Structures are given as C-alpha cells and as structure tokens.
Amino acid sequence: MSTANAAARARVARSTLVRVELGSSEATLATLCAVSDAVGLDLVIRAHPGRGTSLRDRGQLLIAEYLGRAAHPAWSVSLEVTAGDHGQAIDQVFWAAGEIIAVEIIRHMGDYQGQYRSVSLKRDWLARQHRRPVRLVLAVEDLRSNRATVAPHVSLIRSILPAGSRRIMDAIHSGRPLGSDGLLWVRRHSTADRSANPAHDVPKGAVTRLVE
C-alpha cells in the first residue's frame, strides 16, 4: 500500500501519516488509531511504572543536601537525573570523569529485592547512556523498620552491595572512585542528639551517616 493510499484510507494528510511512521510524539490518539486501522494493524498501548516518590519529600531532600555538602569538588552533583526511557529518575548522581555514583534515597523500605531490582535497571540505563562505570548506592534511612526489612537479606547485600557506609562516605569526601556498589545508612539528628552535643551546631533535621 502506498503512503498516499494509506493516508486516504485513514482520512489524514499524507504528511501526517509520514510523521506517524517516523514516530512523531505530536500525533493524537485518534490519528494513531485511524492510521493503524487503515493499514490493518492493532494499536497497543503499554503502561510503565512511574517514578515513585519525588525528592520533594522533605526527608529525602535533607539526605540529598547532606550528601551534596559532603562531596569533594571533584564530584559534580545532580538531583533527579533521568535514568530510563519512561520518565524514571535516580534521586542523586555524583559525576566524575572515570566513574558515576548513582544514589537512590530510601526512607521506607517495603520490599528490598523489588526496590533493588528497580534501581538496578535505572543504573544500567545510565551506564549505557554515559559509557562509564556507574556505582549504585542505596542510601537508606536508619529506622528500625528498615533494619528489619534488610535483616533477612544481609548475606545477599554483602555480596552485591559490598561497599559500606564508611567506604562510601570516604569516596564522596575524597573524590576518589568508589569502585563497587554499596549500602549507606543515614539518620536524622534527634532532639537528644542536639542536647547531648550543645557545642555542635546541629541543624534541625540534619543527617549524619552511620557506621555499617
């Protein structure tokens, strides 16, 4: 079938049909249905998982700000970096010439394995786009519920996320490559922390890393 014939059957301009064939994102759903029907095709729409919690969450922002302030000048730091073809994003990314650190900030871990798989796909997408090693870091808020979720997977975590809190923070502070994926525990200072350390100007809601 010629382009002209297909356009006539779809009752659209030939130029419109050509744009549809080339994958134009400007075509309306009605036009896509008409063109598909004209050439004997079924139009299929697929839904993909959304981005999930945004860094507009105050707790995530506090953690991201803490890590950004701790970063050596060798790192260029970005928030909510695109990491997929369907709107996915990594919460925070540290860029350097030889390595990228992709940080996913998790305040409430409901399903460790599911969350890890989802973030791994985003890391792999970044690696393909930028053609350099991408180290995945899960920055998890130190809550009793999160510790309980992680506990059954400790052996697996140590094998696939071998870098602990000290090593991760050393890489961020120093600007040196991290070299592997890792798990970073973080917590916010409580009122007790402030009263116990009056000499330290601990801002409300600030975070500090924990030893793994």
CATH number at residue 145: 3.40.1350
Is 34 part of any domain? Answer: yes
Same domain for 98 and 162:
yes
- pLDDT range class, residue 50, cuts 50, 70, 90: low
pLDDT of res. 58? 79
- pLDDT range class, residue 157, cuts 50, 70, 90: confident
Is 50 part of any domain? Answer: no
Structure tokens at 30: 């009605």
Secondary structure letter of residue 151 according to DSSP: G
Same domain for 128 and 173:
yes
Is 64 part of any domain? Answer: yes
Give percent above pLDDT 70 in the chain: 84
* Structural domain boundaries enclosing 162: 58-209
Residue 142 has pLDDT above 70, yes or no: yes
pTM of the model: 0.66
Same domain for 157 and 126:
yes
Least confident of 84-93, 134-143, 169-178: 84-93
pLDDT of res. 24? 75
Number of domains in the chain: 2
Same domain for 108 and 23:
no
Least confident of 19-23, 80-84, 89-93: 19-23
